[in-house]
Amino acid sequence: MMAWLSEMWSGGTAAVEPATLRDAPRLAQLHAASFHRGWSESEFEAMLTERNTLVHRLRVGRKIIGFAASRMAADEAEILSVAIAGSHRGRGFSHSLLLTHLGHLAGRGVRSVFLEVEEHNQPARRLYERAGFAIAGRRERYYHQDGGKELNAVLMRRDLS
């Protein structure tokens, strides 16, 4: 599906690949455009260097248009962030990105994956539900925004077999 999608909209081939240190500036850019508190280039460099983190990039043609990042501990992992460039959202790219990322986590011996998502973030919640995640809890006032607004998070879990 990825091939036809990418050809239709971008004229290139879509690929999910391990991110490298050279991707840090672009990943920081994508993150800053997607989240209230962006992660710096050096934060990405640290993640790309640490052995307990796994970062995949989604590339269409020569352009990186998304990423998924997780932190692993023993046989568990937490998805830290998934983002797709605004220009490429709503086209189903995130599903392949996430499934490939989960497959690599499984390959590293991860058996359970957790994540927190803002309760009203429908595209993200739909993405995770479709990838087999189920609600495992709720965290009240988990996200703090400028202006004092606080948002709840839903904790989701998926076991990998």
Ligand X SMILES: CC(C)(COP(=O)(O)OP(=O)(O)OC[C@H]1O[C@@H](n2cnc3c(N)ncnc32)[C@H](O)[C@@H]1OP(=O)(O)O)[C@@H](O)C(=O)NCCC(=O)NCCS
List contacts with ligand X (CB under 6 A): 34, 81-84, 89-95, 117, 121-124, 126-127, 130
Inter-CA distances, 54 with 73, 117, 118, 132, Å: 11, 19, 22, 20
Give 67's strand partners.
57, 83
β-strands 150-159, 76-84 pairing: unpaired
Provide the minimum distance between the beta carbon of 51 and ligand X in the complex, in angstroms, as a whole number: 22
Provide the minimum distance between the beta carbon of 127 and ligand X in the complex, in angstroms, as a whole number: 4
Nearer to ligand X, 123 or 137 (CB): 123
Inter-CA distances, 7 with 3, 11, 144, 153, 157, Å: 6, 4, 39, 36, 33
Strands (E), 21-130: 53-60, 63-73, 76-84, 112-118
Nearer to ligand X, 44 or 93 (CB): 93
Provide the minimum distance between the beta carbon of 82 and ligand X in the complex, in angstroms, as a whole number: 5
Nearer to ligand X, 89 or 157 (CB): 89
Q: Are 83 and 131 in contact (CB under 8 A)?
A: no
Provide the minimum distance between the beta carbon of 62 and ligand X in the complex, in angstroms, as a whole number: 19
Nearer to ligand X, 112 or 121 (CB): 121
